[in-house]
Amino acid sequence: MQDRAKATVGFIGLGYMGEGMAANLLAKGNALVVMANRKRDAVERLVADGAREVKSAAEMASFCDAIFLCVTGSPEVEAIIEGPDGIFAGGKPGLMVIDCSTAEPASTLRLAEVVAAKGMSLVDAPLGGTPAGAKAGTLQALVGASDDDFARAEPLIACWAATIAHVGPVGAGHKMKLINNFLSLGYAALYSEALALGQKVGISPETFHSVIGQGRMRCGFYDTFMTYVIKRDENAHQFTIANAYKDLRYLAGMADSARLVNPLGSAVKNQFAAMAAAGQAERYVPMLSDFVAEANGVKNR
């Protein structure tokens, strides 16, 4: 790959996280190429800052050195790579695809094989953090890649990530990301049930926070979760119930493939499944606290 400052980099998936990541790639001297996926707003802002817009993944792949994907999950990644006007249709040997989505490891491993057969490479680099971190360039990246591919990808990933962990070969990034999200979403389920129990026995969310928020169990995820609970800031943690439920389904599939008994994972998944089934899939993860409270006849506010 060319020197970072001279690379031509494509970006598909300019949502809450993707726009900030793409903006950092552009700000760090890369030639940025974008395309609309769901909405045009981010595309127009990036084009105004100097990015080039294309109409398809095939067109993007025809002249880019690397393409970042930051979409919902494996079906979307597969369609972008293998679809009739996808990356395969226009890609050339040497192109690197860096998938920052949270995807199924089995799909990632399959795609890596078919990409390699065409002389291209696939790196999985799912991310950790918030939209504010994406804008600031301080995200975490969990990278699955060969040593050679990691060396090529790292300078580009460093444009938007402050912490980069090379966790193993291709596919390992997505495996680690699912484990990470199991932990964080498990926290969300625990916090929600604990808050509801507190309400039932006379412990307010403020009292709960005055104890937990100053103890050893406090963490970054807790802070954004409780910013919604205490301050009712709906944008404190912009990660939807639908995405959380999707990630927990992927985790269940990974556990099944590994023949692991995963009862806690199932319990956490079912909390998110219930909220999604109740028509609240597009609400954000901290709002699980309201759903669990209301199911138990109490309210956080």
Q: Is 231 a catalytic residue?
A: no
Judged by phi (left if over 0) then psi (alpha if -120 to 50, else beta), residue 57 lies in: alpha
206: Cβ–Cβ under 8 A, 6 or more apart, which residues?
230
C-alpha distance from residue 103 to each of 98, 126, 156, 246 (Å)? 12, 8, 20, 9
Report the alpha-carbon distance of residue 300 to residue 216 in Å, rounded. Answer: 23
Taking 3-state DSSP, the helix, strand and coil percentages for the chain, each rounded to the nearest 5, stand at 55, 15, 30
Q: Give, in degrees to the nearest 5, the angle at Cα 256 between 239 and 78.
A: 55
Report the alpha-carbon distance of residue 124 to residue 88 in Å, rounded. Answer: 17
Q: Is 270 exposed, middle or buried (0-12, 13-18, 19+ CB in 10 A)?
A: middle
> Cβ distance 166 to 150 under 8 Å?
yes
Catalytic residue among 177, 200, 246, 269: 177
Report the alpha-carbon distance of residue 229 to residue 247 in Å, rounded. Answer: 23
Residue 225 φ then ψ, to 5°: -60, -50
Residues forming the active site: 177
